[in-house]
């Protein structure tokens, strides 16, 4: 419906209906719209009914019951979001231009920004930031707050350290330049001495600090083949540690933080659709695929996707508002809201964008 062409009057009425519906959650009757435009010439009740009928024929409004008012369709919400996200559009004011639902104030007030920043008090790592983000966005949206850490392929090595635990067991502690700390216990086939572990960590830190982790593994394998005779003993130790997972990503997939399922349960009245929706949302891989497919880590913009039925038919009435999190030009994750389409779009778009940018001030990148 991106090619929908509406007259100024049709656009005005549609936006008013959408904003009334967002505010009340009830089908919007022509009388309610008429009261909103009581002082406007040329917008009589009869005219409004005709405009609403035209919008219904266009597929932007639907009527749940014969005697009920109109409800915006997913296409209507997409049209509405398209207006909000137009380059150069002022953040303040409802897109209807009537000072009605949507408000004339900034979507994200100074007080709300302060509340958000206070919610992140004490956060000092990427892991803590993403975990806290899911909680904050769930509270703000009354929907699902989701935060996804970037994959190992996008993580950059800052430091790695090995500690011998027992025979054949070594603790690897890896720190990325985004501040994430990963630790794992490695079960080795060959016993390595403390000196060999120290030499291996020094080799990796001196040669590969600032490298993407997935490239380090490939480069170590390449050097083993080329320089095996020259550095045979050293590289054999390094290869063993890497092969056992010292530089591996999380085997269960990237870290995913989700909060707010209860919010969606309260908003959905159709029990069977709710069951199907929860099954889709509980599948971790499905959420990872959603965020990966819709939010481009190379871009800065907030992405809004109305209707997630491509992921699951039960998610057709949900909207995703997401943005990448970047530190020093490196993508470290994605933050998003998944909520019913009846959401305060302007405020949530601004909130997601603000929280994504907040990471730059919360997290310090180690000096190169």
Domain match, 228 and 295 both: no
| 18-36: pLDDT as tens digits | 999 998 888 998 888 888 8
User: Minimum mean pLDDT among 68-72, 118-122, 215-219: which range?
Assistant: 215-219
Q: Is the pLDDT of residue 96 over 60?
A: no
Domain span including residue 235: 155-243
Mean pLDDT across 83-95: 59
Residue 94 pLDDT class (50, 70, 90 cuts): very low
Which has more pLDDT, 196 or 368? Answer: 196
> Could you tell me if 261 and 313 lie in one domain?
yes
Instruction: Write down the pLDDT at residue 244.
Output: 65
Tell me if 331 sits within 8 A of 311, measured CB to CB.
no
Question: What pLDDT was estimated at residue 31?
Answer: 86
268/145 same-domain check: yes
Closest CA to 341 of 125, 71, 96: 71
Work out the percent of the chain whose per-residue pLDDT is above 70: 74
Does residue 101 belong to any structural domain of this protein? Answer: no
Asked if residue 298 belongs to a domain, the reply is yes
Residue 67, domain CATH: 1.10.10.10
**How many angstroms separate the Cα of 233 from the Cα of each of 6, 17, 181, 197, 201?**
73, 73, 28, 12, 14
In a domain, 92, yes or no: no
- The CATH number covering residue 134 comes to 3.30.450.40
The last residue of a domain, from among 195, 222, 243: 243
The answer to whether position 312 is within a domain reads: yes
- With contact defined as beta carbons under 8 Å apart, do 36 and 97 qualify? no
Across the range 275-295, mean pLDDT stands at: 74
Q: Are residues 139 and 278 in the same domain?
A: yes
**Is 105 domain-assigned?**
no
15 and 131: one domain?
A: no
Of 54-68, 97-111, 116-130, 338-352, minimum mean pLDDT range: 97-111
Query: Tokens for 364?
Result: 């310090």
Q: Which of 23-32, 43-52, 310-319, 348-357 has the lowest mean pLDDT?
A: 310-319
pTM of the model: 0.69
Pairwise pLDDT comparison (85 vs 351), residue with the higher score? 351
Query: 159 and 145 in one domain?
Result: no
Answer whether residue 367 is part of any domain.
no
Is the pLDDT higher at 300 or at 230?
300
pLDDT of residue 20: 93
Q: Note the pLDDT of residue 37.
A: 82
Q: Looking up tokens 């998003």, which residue turns up?
A: 336
Helix (H, G, I), strand (E, B) or coil at 44: coil
- From 186, 208, 243, the end of a domain falls on 243
When divided into structural domains, the chain yields a total of 3
Would the pLDDT of 79 be above 50? yes
Residues 51 and 143 grouped into a single domain: no
> Is it the case that residue 180 has pLDDT exceeding 80?
no
221 is a domain residue = yes
Q: And the tokens for 57?
A: 């024929």
Angle between the 110-119 and 126-141 helix axes, to the nearest 10 degrees?
140
Does one domain contain both 47 and 173?
A: no
**Which of 30-34, 102-106, 275-279, 287-291 has the lowest average pLDDT?**
102-106
Rounded average pLDDT over 178-199? 80
Domain boundary among 243, 262, 284: 243
Residue 234, domain CATH = 3.30.390
In this structure, are 217 and 236 located in the same domain? yes
Same domain, residue pair 358 and 276? yes
Question: Would 93 be classed as within a structural domain?
Answer: no
- Which residue is associated with the tokens 């707010």? 260
Is the pLDDT at 306 greater than 70? The verdict is yes
- Please tell me whether residues 197 and 58 are part of one structural domain: no
pLDDT number for residue 173: 87
Cα-only R_g, the chain: 26
Which tops the pLDDT comparison, 107 or 106? 107
**Is the distance from CB of 224 to CB of 235 less than 8 angstroms?**
yes
| Same domain flag for 174 and 296 | no
pLDDT of residue 118: 92
């Amino acid at each position: 419906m991106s090619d929908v062409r509406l007259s100024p009057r049709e656009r005005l009425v549609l936006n008013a209906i959408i904003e009334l519906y967002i505010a009340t959650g009830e089908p919007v009757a022509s009388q309610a719209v008429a009261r909103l435009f009581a002082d406007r010439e040329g917008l009589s009740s009869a005219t409004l009914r005709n405009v609403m009928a035209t919008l219904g024929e266009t597929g932007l409004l639907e009527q749940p019951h014969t005697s009920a008012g109109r409800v915006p369709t997913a296409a209507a919400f997409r049209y509405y979001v398209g207006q909000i996200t137009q380059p150069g559009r002022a953040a303040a004011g409802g897109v209807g231009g009537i000072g009605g639902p949507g408000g004339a104030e900034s979507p994200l007030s100074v007080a709300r920004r302060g509340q958000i920043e206070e919610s992140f008090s004490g956060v000092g790592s990427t892991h803590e930031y993403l975990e806290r983000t899911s909680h904050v966005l769930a509270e703000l949206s009354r929907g699902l707050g989701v935060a996804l850490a970037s994959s190992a392929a996008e993580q950059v090595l800052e430091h790695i350290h090995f500690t011998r635990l027992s025979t054949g067991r070594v603790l690897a502690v890896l720190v990325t330049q985004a501040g994430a700390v990963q630790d794992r216990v490695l079960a080795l086939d060959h016993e390595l001495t403390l000196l060999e572990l120290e030499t291996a960590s020094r080799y990796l830190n001196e040669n590969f600090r600032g490298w993407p982790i997935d490239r380090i593994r490939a480069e170590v394998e390449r050097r083993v083949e080329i320089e095996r005779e020259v550095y045979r003993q050293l590289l054999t130790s390094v290869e063993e540690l890497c092969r056992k997972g010292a530089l591996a990503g999380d085997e269960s997939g990237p870290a995913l933080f989700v909060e707010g399922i209860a919010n969606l349960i309260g908003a959905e009245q159709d029990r069977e659709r709710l069951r199907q929706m929860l099954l889709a949302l509980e599948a971790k891989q499905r959420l990872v695929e959603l965020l990966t497919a819709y939010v481009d880590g190379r871009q800065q913009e907030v992405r809004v996707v109305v209707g997630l039925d491509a992921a699951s038919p039960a998610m057709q009435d949900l909207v995703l508002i997401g943005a990448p999190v970047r530190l020093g030009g490196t993508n470290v994750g994605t933050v998003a809201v998944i909520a019913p389409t009846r959401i305060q779009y302007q405020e949530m778009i601004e909130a997601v964008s603000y929280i994504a940018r907040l990471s730059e001030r919360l997290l310090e990148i180690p000096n190169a």
